[in-house]
Amino acid sequence: MGLSRGTGSLIHAYVALTATLAAMIGAMMLFLFAGERLTTHQVPLLEATTTIESELAEAHFWFEDVRADRPESIRQVLRHFDEALWYTEAILHGGQREGEAFPRASKAELRAVLETLRERILASRKSIETYHGAGGDSGDGEDARRHKVMFRELATLAADAATIVRLDIARRSMLRQRLLAVVIAGSFLAAVFLGLVFYRYEAGRRHAERELWHEKAYSESVVDSLPGVFYLFDRQGRMLRWNRNFERITGYSADELRVRAPWDFFEGADREHIARQVEIVFEAGQATAAADLVTKDGRAIPHYFTGERITRDEELFLVGMGIDVTEQKRATEKIEDLARFPSENPNPVMRAARDGTILYANVASEFLLKFWGCSRGGRLPEEWRRLVTQVLSTGESQLWEADCVDKVYAMTCAPLHNAECVNLYAMDITDRKRAEVSLRAVQDELLARQTREKELVQAELEQARAELVKKTRLATLGQLTATVSHEIRNPLGSIRTAVYSIAQEVRGHGPLVDRALDRAERNVLRCDRIIEELLDYTRVGESKPEPTHVDRWLAEVLDEYPWPEGIAVTRNLAGNTEVPIDREQLRRCVVNLVTNACQAMEGSESGKAGVTVETVVEGQWLRVRIRDAGRGIAPKDMDRIFEPFYTTKGFGVGLGLPMVEQLMRQFGGEVSLESETGRGTTATLSLSLTRNKEF
């Protein structure tokens, strides 16, 4: 009887154990199926909210392109609004597209956000249709700010909706995991309990203790295999359970961990934050936190912690896990740093599409954009658009220099791989170019100075050589002239006296005799003038300048000159200035040029012969111009007109103009001739106002 009762109890215990295990397996499968359905139900909602965000972002992009006044951009904005509106309606009321079903949202918070988003999308669509249908410009003042606020609100609402769905999915997934752990633990404890009953009949207390040891070892292996740090503590902060990762990462031993509170592993603001989150777990049931876990050696390791409240024997505990997020944090910081790089770059950085549309431009690019006459969202100038097309076609970067007002930029146009756009980089090299220009200017100045000095030395040598030759020739000519004039003038004086005596006796006896006497007297005078010209040319006297009002002095000279009949004289004396001059030397120059002018018009028709004398101040020079209406000087004679003894007349020795040139040079002046055959000649005497004041 006892045996059958024991056998029956054993059978009942075995049946109970089997049923419990079956129930546990069934509960786990039901839980997994229900959890899978919960997650599957939420995934379409997440895809829909993410699509809404994307469509609104695309609408914003196309709206910014409206600045180019393209109707296609408006149609794209409205199309993306319609797509976002469809997904909003699908989440609110359920819908289906291309075989994919979108369940109706049941969460009140999500529905409220989507209702607001739907109203804002409809209002924004109507606003854009109305404004741009009336020919408005999205870049105009208040309307531009209102549209920017509108798109910012739409983006915020869409992000809020997506965040609600993500949080709901995370909460359900975490709840599923926690419930699964609870179900596993509960089922396992139930199995152990029944196992203890079973083994009580089979092996007794000792066997039951061994099973308990195995259960503990298994649970510890499960906990130790977790990828992060596992912890269990009560409301007083006593650490009750942790895994090996906790000891390995913190560097504390088991004995040290037993006497430390959870918030003792944090410092500063993180310590206060963790303490508040622990209180939230015990009050609300769960919480998460991101903080730096401080190890025994002082290292701070970023972690993401979770906490869940559990109850055991009517006592509250916190169970949770922390995951090392160092790599994720570094990646995030690197991404944020890379995202800040273009905007913080002191040099211009831009991105342009194949058609030349400026997709991005940092603050430093404002100067270039203003110089080009374009803006963000607009198009580059035609020459830059051609360059963008060339770079995208060849796939090779282009380097060049560009002048922009008072700056010089080194430009780089680099294509982006697998993208229909290029990056434009610019570096201000104005200072470098200025240094190069300055260096080149200094080099050029040194070379020019060296060349000028060389030319000056050569010119001085040539001038000294010419002066030496000229002085030698003049000295020789002077000696010869003095000798010839002395030897000729004495007989010439005797001839002149004899001709005069003969004329007194025989003049009036006949025309032939009178003409012969006149010819003899003229040739005697001509010989005397030739001798005088030779003496004047070879005589180098000291200049004696006197302050003289040139216009009045020149008028007196012209009044005293014996003008031939038939020559009209025009005076335009407008110099009106006083210059120190050697009056006698300048008189000889003026008389010589006036005589040449009168001789050039011999034989001219009556009424066409005329001489114009004018004075005018031009810069630092006083010009005295004597212009005739004679036959002019042939071009072939112009180069030799100032050579001594060169003449185009049938009389004279050719020393008039050389003498004028010599006298003008003597007191710092110049003489020049301009002539046109058949229209006359203009002789100009130039007196330096600055040099003459030095006298």
Residue 472: which pLDDT band, with cuts at 50, 70 and 90? low
pTM: 0.32
Residues 528 and 572 in one domain: no
Residues 528 and 610 in one domain: no
At residue 39, the pLDDT reads 56
Residue 484: which pLDDT band, with cuts at 50, 70 and 90? low
Q: Which of 85, 84, 66 is nearest to 128 (CA)?
A: 66
At residue 407, the pLDDT reads 82
Q: Which residue has the higher pLDDT, 637 or 539?
A: 637
- 444 vs 440, 441, 454, CA distance in Å? 6, 5, 15
Torsion from C-alpha of 614, 617, 623, 624, nearest 10 degrees = 30
Average pLDDT for 140-151: 74
pLDDT at residue 335 greater than cutoff 60: no
Residues 30 and 111 in one domain: yes
Residue 165: which pLDDT band, with cuts at 50, 70 and 90? confident
Of 302, 324, 346, the domain-final residue: 324
- Do 365 and 344 contact (CB within 8 A), yes or no? no
Residues 465 and 414 in one domain: no
Residue 6: which pLDDT band, with cuts at 50, 70 and 90? very low
Q: Cβ-count burial of 476 within 10 angstroms (0-12 exposed, 13-18 middle, 19+ buried)? A: exposed
Residues 51 and 189 in one domain: yes
Q: Say how many C-beta atoms besides its own lie within 10 A of residue 138's C-beta.
A: 22
At residue 309, the pLDDT reads 93
pLDDT at residue 85 greater than cutoff 70: yes
Residues 476 and 535 in one domain: yes
The residue type found at 524 is V
CB-based contacts of 107: which residues, under 8 Å, 6+ apart?
164, 168
Question: Domain holding 527: CATH number?
Answer: 1.10.287
DSSP state for residue 110 in the 8-state scheme: H
Residue 206 falls within a domain, yes or no? no
| 3-class DSSP string for 458-480 | HHHHHHHHHHHHHHHHHHHHHHH
Residues 278 and 295 in one domain: yes
Provide the percentage of residues in the chain whose pLDDT is more than 70. 75
Average pLDDT for 383-390: 86
Query: In sequence order, what E strands does 477-517 have?
Result: none
Residues 557 and 533 in one domain: no
The residue type found at 181 is A
Q: Which of 617, 622, 608, 615 is nearest to 567 (CA)?
A: 608
Distance between CA 161 and CA 46 in Å, rounded?
9
Residue 318: which pLDDT band, with cuts at 50, 70 and 90? very high
Average pLDDT for 55-63: 80
At residue 409, the pLDDT reads 83
Going by their DSSP bridges, the two strands 568-573 and 610-618 should be labelled as: parallel
pLDDT at residue 7 greater than cutoff 70: no
Distance between CA 226 and CA 214 in Å, rounded?
19
Residues 655 and 594 in one domain: yes
At residue 64, the pLDDT reads 75
Distance between CA 127 and CA 147 in Å, rounded?
9
Q: Which helix (H) or strand (E) holds 622?
A: strand 621-628
Helical H segments across 252-325, by residue range = 254-258, 268-284
Distance between CA 186 and CA 307 in Å, rounded?
19
Three-state SS for 26?
helix
Q: Which of 72, 61, 392 is nearest to 384 (CA)?
A: 392
Residues 605 and 671 in one domain: yes
Sheet with 239-242, edge to edge strand ranges: 239-242, 229-234, 315-324, 300-312, 286-294
Average pLDDT for 59-79: 72
- 544 vs 537, 554, 623, CA distance in Å? 18, 17, 20
At residue 280, the pLDDT reads 93
pLDDT at residue 2 greater than cutoff 50: no
Its sign, for the CA torsion 90, 96, 97, 100, is positive
At residue 450, the pLDDT reads 82
Q: How many domains does the chain have?
A: 5
Of 540, 564, 596, the domain-final residue: 540
- Do 625 and 683 contact (CB within 8 A), yes or no? yes
Report the mean per-residue pLDDT for the chain: 77
Q: Which two tokens stand for residue 494?
A: 């005797």
Residue 665: which pLDDT band, with cuts at 50, 70 and 90? confident
The span from the first CA to the last CA of the chain, in angstroms, equals 161
pLDDT at residue 466 greater than cutoff 80: no
Q: Which domain holds residue 484?
A: 447-540
Residue 207 falls within a domain, yes or no? no
Question: Domain holding 111: CATH number?
Answer: 1.20.120.1730
Residue 218 falls within a domain, yes or no? no
Q: Which of 126, 154, 170, 168 is nearest to 53 (CA)?
A: 154
Residue 559 falls within a domain, yes or no? yes
Q: Which helix (H) or strand (E) holds 421?
A: strand 421-428
The residue type found at 232 is L
Of 282, 305, 324, the domain-final residue: 324
Residue 350 falls within a domain, yes or no? yes
Give the tens place of pLDDT for each residue, 677-691: 878 888 898 888 876
Distance between CA 422 and CA 358 in Å, rounded?
10
pLDDT at residue 377 greater than cutoff 70: yes
Residue 163: which pLDDT band, with cuts at 50, 70 and 90? confident
Residue 598 falls within a domain, yes or no? yes
CB-based contacts of 278: which residues, under 8 Å, 6+ apart?
237, 262, 263, 287, 307, 318
Residues 235 and 152 in one domain: no
Residues 546 and 527 in one domain: no
Question: Domain holding 621: CATH number?
Answer: 3.30.565.10
**Side-chain-side CA neighbours of residue 46 (13 Å):** 13
Average pLDDT for 400-405: 79
Three-state SS for 136?
coil
Residue 210 falls within a domain, yes or no? no
Q: Give pairs for 216-222: CB < 8 Å, separation 24+.
A: none
At residue 68, the pLDDT reads 43
Q: Say how many C-beta atoms besides its own lie within 10 A of residue 469's C-beta.
A: 10
Give the tens place of pLDDT for each residue, 506-565: 777 777 777 777 777 767 776 766 666 666 655 555 667 888 888 899 899 888 888 888
Distance between CA 474 and CA 476 in Å, rounded?
5
Window from 199-213, 382-396, 589-603 with minimum mean pLDDT: 199-213
Give the tens place of pLDDT for each residue, 257-285: 889 899 999 999 999 999 999 999 999 99
Residue 514 falls within a domain, yes or no? yes
